[in-house]
Amino acid sequence: MDSIVITPLVERPSLISRIYEITETWPAFIPHDPVAEALLSRVAEDFPHYCVVATDGDRVVARGLSVPFDKDLDGREDMPDKGWDQVLVWAFRDQRHGHSPTTVSALEITVDTAYLGRGLSYRMLAALRDAVGRQGHNVLLAPVRPTAKHREPRVTMADYVRRRRDDGLPTDPWLRVHVRAGGSIQKIAPASMTISGSLSQWRQWTGLPFVSDGEIDVPGALVPVHCDTAHDRAVYVEPNVWVRHEVETPVT
């Protein structure tokens, strides 16, 4: 029998401080997105109704995070080009100013490496959709980071997303999970995350020399990193893929 239990984080507040105990495979440079550095660690505590956690006994084995925001304020849209960074900023700004949320965006679903290949990511996505529905929302948006795109950083995201298997599903495994779960691919978020650092920082994060100007392929990066030696700077602008999920709200 499967011993993994998935629950809304609000029902297990003692786990809020433990959701990052997971052994994960995020590239070393990803946490250095300045928006992530400033806000991501606060999501579970500030928005526990919109987060889910999976445990196996006392072990935390997966987390799913999402945030609510008001897409109807002037100058906003539900799926902004700045994707992940933008919705995270909006969520905390709306919370601070008391704006009622009108939609929700997923931020991540992360599964412990020891539990990959068991279908847990699909279950976590379903649980995240359920959590959002219980808050009265009928849509969950997601700026999806395709898991196999890093193998082809020189292929444009638009071309990559169009690829399909013989059964019509996306070739990318994580996009395929979303589509199988009922999600529909909407558009590209061309600047979903932006990570800038000195060449010394990028060398530390990647182990690469960063001694030449231009585009540099970095393991784990979905697109090349732009290196400018004259200004001692390298910048990574990550595109994601907006996916829309229709969500059922509980009947009362």
- Give the pLDDT band (50/70/90) at residue 159: very high
**The pair of three-digit structure tokens given for residue 15, joined into one six-digit string:** 């786990």
Note the pLDDT of residue 249: 85
**Would you say residue 223 has pLDDT above 60?**
yes
- Domain topology for 4-192+240-246: Aminopeptidase (3.40.630)
| Residues facing residue 64 across a β-bridge | 52, 109
Residue ranges of domains in the chain: 4-192+240-246
**The pair of three-digit structure tokens given for residue 187, joined into one six-digit string:** 């558009």
**Would you say residue 1 has pLDDT above 60?**
no
pTM of the model: 0.96
H-type alpha helices, the chain: 34-39, 43-46, 83-97, 120-134, 157-162, 173-180, 199-206
210, 203 Cβ separation under 8 angstroms: yes
Note the pLDDT of residue 250: 82
Average pLDDT, the chain: 97
Residue with tokens 């609000």, as numbered in its chain: 10
Q: Using one digit for the tens of pLDDT, what is the confidence trace for 182-206?
A: 999 999 999 999 999 999 999 999 9
**Would you say residue 71 has pLDDT above 70?**
yes
Note the pLDDT of residue 252: 62
171: exposed, middle or buried (Cβ count in 10 Å: 0-12, 13-18, 19+)? middle
For residue 209, the tally of other CB atoms under 10 A from its CB is 11
- Angstrom distance (rounded) from CA 94 to CA 101: 8
- What mean pLDDT is predicted for residues 64-75? 97
pLDDT over 70 percentage in the chain = 99
pLDDT over 90 percentage in the chain = 97
Query: Greater confidence, 193 or 250?
Result: 193
Query: Greater confidence, 136 or 250?
Result: 136
Q: Using one digit for the tens of pLDDT, what is the confidence trace for 89-116?
A: 999 999 999 999 999 999 999 999 999 9
**Would you say residue 230 has pLDDT above 80?**
yes
Q: Where are the beta strands (DSSP E) in the chain?
A: 4-8, 52-56, 59-69, 103-111, 139-144, 184-197, 214-216, 225-228, 233-246
